[in-house]
Chain A
């Protein structure tokens, strides 16, 4: 009860201050507001540069993908590292590795449910088994087509991870882990980051800046630097997708089994 009174007082005071501050905000949908057009009398906003010059610089129509993978490449790379770190943290917090001589370790769950063993799951299990490859193909399309339509590495990676989560939820976690084992997803999580950082390091080989993809036109055998940027963005998105896919499935596998990777929900 004391916490509720304190919370109400804190919320009322903070809310009043925020509501008062909101009055000074630019109007909703105003194209001339400082975030959209820049400070009056100062430099124009960076977003104006992005919108006007993205197609000239990299031949990518989807501005969000271009800003995500090219102009703000450092940001995206370390966001991906944050996701990897979160995956490692869950492993460190939850994962229980059972040793035979350790009496305190939890017992393995005896009845590991399979599609064949549990008749209530037959329809759901078979349907999800058929649906999972379709989801994966659509996810690959989302990753590869992120330059031209909404999509990209993060969305496609989460969808790929979700397809494995669907298999583990509808069938059994054991069968899913037989196809996409702990060793695989741990390695793939690092491989994704290495693809991203490696593509960033390659331009340094020829004396350009880190993540300056324009230098890779020789590697991708493109005419100009613009198409090299476009292709490098695809490579970067693939790296992001691999890491996100692995970490999403790792989080589900550890959380649903309390770190034992046996049994499942």
Chain B
């Protein structure tokens, strides 16, 4: 049991919590009755996925992905004296991985845009049916079909 914790749980503890957050979101999307609650759950589900991606780019003892001015000065010296094939002064393990940051940055802004579209659809549902509860909306749709 202790070996399992040492090898599986402790190096991945935050991934386990992301799975818990993701499942909270999934549960609310299926089980919650209110449409706004469903949308909040969907956003929580989305943030769990974003957290997973950003966590993959984290490096121990690394700094933020902005190159400091001191390092840049050293880099300029080496690139001025030697040819471009020489070993660069900017070491990749010193900076966090920028690729997942870029992907998730755009995903967040697109996420709020799609949340806006979903909220607009929610308002139209409220305008047509007078309620935000899923079961009442389904009942009213059924009644409409029976009338025809």
- In this complex, how many residues of chain A approach chain B with their Cβ under 8 Å: the count is 65
> A47-B92, A56-B79, A251-B113 are known contacts. Are A89 and B120 too (CB-CB below 8 A)?
yes
B30/A22 in contact, CB under 8 A: no
Query: From residue B21, how far is it (CB to closest CB) to chain A in Å?
Result: 11
Of A23-31, A163-171, A193-201, A231-239, which binds chain B?
A: A23-31
Taken together as a complex, chains A and B put the C-alpha atoms of A131 and B65 apart, in Å, by 31
- Give residues of chain A (30-54) contacting chain B, Cβ–Cβ below 8 Å: 30-31, 33, 35-37, 45-48, 50-54
Residues of A contacting B8 with CB < 8 Å?
23
Kindly state whether residue B124 has any CB partner on chain A within 8 Å.
yes
B11/A27 in contact, CB under 8 A: yes
A63/B95 in contact, CB under 8 A: yes
A255/B57 in contact, CB under 8 A: no
Taken together as a complex, chains A and B put the C-alpha atoms of A243 and B130 apart, in Å, by 34
Kindly state whether residue B14 has any CB partner on chain A within 8 Å.
yes
A28/B65 in contact, CB under 8 A: no
Taken together as a complex, chains A and B put the C-alpha atoms of A93 and B86 apart, in Å, by 58
Of A8-16, A109-117, A134-142, which binds chain B?
A: A8-16
- Give residues of chain A (55-96) contacting chain B, Cβ–Cβ below 8 Å: 55-56, 61-64, 67-68, 72, 75-76, 79, 82-83, 86-87, 89-90, 93-94
Residues of B contacting A67 with CB < 8 Å?
98-99, 102
Residues of A contacting B47 with CB < 8 Å?
none
Residues of B contacting A28 with CB < 8 Å?
11-15, 55, 58
B98/A52 in contact, CB under 8 A: no
Residues of A contacting B30 with CB < 8 Å?
3, 6-7, 10-11
Question: What secondary structure prevails in chain B residues at the interface with A?
Answer: helix
Query: From residue A261, how far is it (CB to closest CB) to chain B in Å?
Result: 14
Partner of B106, one of A10, A76, A94, A251: A76
> A51-B98, A93-B121, A258-B123 are known contacts. Are A11 and B15 too (CB-CB below 8 A)?
no
Residues of A contacting B92 with CB < 8 Å?
37, 47-48, 51-52
> A10-B30, A47-B99 are known contacts. Are A82 and B65 too (CB-CB below 8 A)?
no
Partner of A150, one of B27, B66, B120: B66
Residues of A contacting B34 with CB < 8 Å?
none
- In this complex, how many residues of chain B approach chain A with their Cβ under 8 Å: the count is 60
Residues of A contacting B105 with CB < 8 Å?
64, 68, 154
> A3-B30, A4-B31 are known contacts. Are A158 and B109 too (CB-CB below 8 A)?
yes
Taken together as a complex, chains A and B put the C-alpha atoms of A11 and B8 apart, in Å, by 21
Partner of B90, one of A8, A55, A76, A87: A55
B109/A50 in contact, CB under 8 A: no
A26/B56 in contact, CB under 8 A: yes
Kindly state whether residue A221 has any CB partner on chain B within 8 Å.
no
Interfacial residues, chain B to chain A (CB-CB below 8 A): 8, 11-16, 19-20, 22-23, 26-27, 30-31, 33, 55-60, 62, 64-69, 72, 75, 79, 84, 88, 90, 92-93, 95, 97-103, 105-106, 109-110, 112-114, 116-117, 119-121, 123-124, 127
Counting from the closest, the 9 A-B pairs by CB-CB distance are A86-B113, A7-B30, A7-B31, A27-B11, A29-B60, A251-B116, A79-B106, A63-B98, A63-B65
12 interchain pairs, CB-CB under 8 A: A15-B22, A36-B59, A47-B99, A52-B90, A55-B90, A64-B101, A75-B106, A76-B106, A79-B109, A86-B113, A86-B116, A251-B116
